[in-house]
Chain A
Amino acid sequence: MQHFLSPGILTGAFLITGVVTAFLYGRGLAVSRAQLSADDARAHSLPSYHGYFSAWIVALLAVGVIVPWVTFSGALPKFMFPAMILGAMALGFIIINRLLTPTFRARNHVERFVGGALMICSGVAVLTTFGIVLSLVFESLRFFDQVPVLDFLTGLQWSPQTALREDQVGQSGSFGAVPIFAGTFMITAVAIFIAGPIGLLIAVYLSEYANKRTRAAVKPMVEILAGIPTIVYGFFALLTVGPAIRNFAEGFGLSVPTQSAIAAGSVMGVMIIPFISSLSDDVINAVPQTLRDGSLALGATKSETMTKVIFPAALPGIIGAFLLAVSRAIGETMIVVMAAGRAANLTGNPFEAVTTVTVQIVSLLTGDQEFDSAKTLAAFALGLVLFVFTLFLNVIALLIVRKYRERYE
């Protein structure tokens, strides 16, 4: 019995009942007062707007109690909470009773409430972004207290094991992130090297050569690739592609580890094919038909039209698509965690194991760690670098795409 009447449940029940009652009360009030009013003039707003207005007032007052309560909970006995909610809602009903007359501009007020509510929703998203960025920045600053920025950005040695106790030896840790950036760059390059040409040619095929029915069937099928969970790609890379590459290389007498940049990069490339093909397909389709007609009417073939007119016209959008795919590849985690390895090798050979920013963040933060050690804080610094870089790429991509759109509208 006790937990049925817990303050939370009670509050919820009060809230819903109160708001619904307020709606009905406000609407009824509007109807009856309009009928009673002496002049023939119609009420300013429809009765349901009076109802919505009442519901909003009651809900706002109730929330006005809940928020401070949650913030300063414990100061008052628990049973006071439902009582205060009830009190607030009663106050709401008194206000409603005062305000609602046939001339009351309920509709305008409701529109304002709705606008405000929508603004708050988008505000949540924006504020969250700010919050994440700020936490990244502050934790990174703590990291840079211990490790100089320049050492972090230009150091060639990455071994983040630090001494847990004073008496441990040889574990000073070194935080030169260049090998990690290089690994990230190499895997991204492999991925784009695979996804770029294939994605682009898929887009060309879908937009210019495929007939309607083929296009309707193929496009969703390609896009399924983007919907496969990355962990599935991860074990595909680790258990299928990696060994396949190793066996293939052994045929030439070479020894390649199962975990390699090329295994992770090629699987990631497959994953981002739809990013490139779908976006490029959209921008190629956005090139006006009149340009195609103009070129064909001059006696150009389909492929001449494609390479000489459509492609240059769509190029900015295609570059935008590539940049978005790159930022997706850089931020991708699961595939590289499983298939790229963890050793921070500084190498230019894609057949060796490398590591990426995302992999290192995972390994820095998993396991028992003191939160304020340089090792854990390094994750924030890496995250910040990752964030700044992908943000930069996204902004450029969006600017390019937008500029391109404006040209044909």
Chain B
Amino acid sequence: MSALKTNHLGHPRSMFDTGKVIDMKATTSEANTARVKFKCRNVEVFYSGKRALHGVNMDVPDSGVTALIGPSGCGKSTFLRVFNRMNDTIPNARVAGQILMDGQDIYGRDVDPVLLRARVGMVFQKPNPFPKSIFDNVAYGPRIHGLAPRKNDLDNIVEKSLMRAGLWNEVKDRLKEPGTGLSGGQQQRLVIARAIAVSPEVILMDEPASALDPIATAKLEELIDELKEKYCILIVTHSMAQAARVSQKTAFFHLGDLVEYDDTQAIFTNPKDQRTQDYITGRTG
């Protein structure tokens, strides 16, 4: 199960790739030393034949927050959408390489992307509550997956999810009101509750705070900090300060390459690559 072994099985190119394969044994300094959740080998994404992601090799730990940073168009969002196969929904998008989730290839022939997405939830850049009531928004996932055979179960799931998303106290008296009527920050926590409601193992967040004001952002970051105890979280962010605040691991992308991947602490205090240093010190990007 060592990272190196898989490397030999992968393309020879991965040996020379800038993407650094982290040996999880080397990161035991972390308190919650974790198993590998996702093992990415030479992941490439093509849009209409154009390569947007150049052979990324990366191991995502199964607990804590992993941040993906980099300038616009560097491929970080594209990479994020690899994990729940959302790139499948884009016409002319193609993914190559191997992504193992708990050792199972999520692009394997026997994997149903619909079921995968129940295990890997996602929160988007712009809050996107459905034009339904707050309750129905959260109950949407459990209903389509048949997680709540009885009304009582559904009530429990909704309440628990909203509580976990830190929204329960604000909305418990108006569950029947439309979710679109909430403030931006509340909407973003509502869609997090909606994602939690199907009990995913992983939550992907694509710049979740970019449409929020500083106070809502602070609340969201607090929430992410709590959620990381239970879920593996991958977050794409434009804000380096945010990456530094919420994540334990950080990956820096540049022009489709994974340039550097290390403990967040190390990336921000002692970047090894010149490009990483230029970006985090504000010289590029």
Which residues on A are within 8 Å of B, measured CB to CB?
211-212, 288, 290-301, 304, 308-309, 312-313, 407
Contact = CB atoms under 8 A, between A and B. Distances in A.
A409 to B, nearest CB: 13
Interface in B123-160: 124, 126, 128-132, 140-141, 144-145
B121 A297 contact: yes
Contacts of B141: 298-300
A142 to B, nearest CB: 51
B114 A293 contact: no
Given A293-B89, A294-B191, A299 B130 contact: no
Q: Which of A211, A292, A293, A301: most chain B Cβ within 10 A? A: A293
Contact of B114 (A212, A288, A299, A308): A299
A62 to B, nearest CB: 58
B140 A297 contact: no
A293 B145 contact: no
B84 interface: yes
Given A296-B89, A296-B117, A407-B131, A290 B126 contact: yes
Nearest to A408: B131
A288 B128 contact: yes
A359 B140 CA distance: 50
A298 B128 contact: no
Interface in B73-111: 84, 86, 89, 91
Nearest to B195: A298
The 8 lowest CB-CB distance pairs between A and B, nearest first, are A299-B118, A297-B122, A290-B128, A299-B117, A294-B128, A298-B141, A313-B131, A300-B144
Interface string B178-204: 001000000000010011001000000
B198 A299 contact: yes
B2 to A, nearest CB: 32
Contacts of A297: 84, 86, 117, 121-122, 124, 195
Interface string B187-223: 0000100110010000000000000000000000000
A303 to B, nearest CB: 11
A394 B112 CA distance: 46
Contacts of A296: 86, 89, 117
A301 to B, nearest CB: 5
B86 A298 contact: no
Contact of A298 (B129, B131, B132, B140): B140
A294 B124 contact: yes
B9 interface: no
Interface of B: 84, 86, 89, 91, 114-118, 121-122, 124, 126, 128-132, 140-141, 144-145, 180, 191, 194-195, 198
A160 B128 CA distance: 60
Nearest to A304: B144
A367 B86 CA distance: 68
A293 B77 CA distance: 14
A312 B180 CA distance: 14
Most buried by A among B117, B121, B194: B117
Contacts of A312: 130-132
A294 B130 CA distance: 8
Contacts of A293: 86, 89, 122, 124, 128
Contact of B124 (A290, A301, A304): A290
A295 B144 CA distance: 10
A299 B145 CA distance: 8
6 contacts: A288-B128, A290-B128, A296-B89, A299-B116, A301-B114, A308-B140
Contact of B128 (A212, A291, A304): A291
A211 B194 contact: no
A296 B114 CA distance: 8
Contacts of A299: 114-118, 141, 144-145, 198
Contacts of A292: 89
Contacts of A211: 91
Given A297-B195, A299-B118, 19 more contacts: A290-B128, A291-B131, A293-B124, A294-B128, A294-B129, A294-B191, A294-B194, A296-B117, A297-B84, A297-B86, A297-B117, A299-B114, A299-B117, A300-B114, A300-B140, A300-B144, A304-B144, A308-B140, A312-B130
B135 to A, nearest CB: 14
Contacts of B195: 297-298
Task: Report which residue of A211, A212, A308 has the largest number of chain B beta carbons within 10 angstroms of its beta carbon.
Answer: A308
A297 B117 CA distance: 6
A177 to B, nearest CB: 42
Interface centre among B86, B116, B132, B140 (most CB of A within 10 A): B140
Nearest to B191: A294
Contacts of A313: 130-131
A310 to B, nearest CB: 10
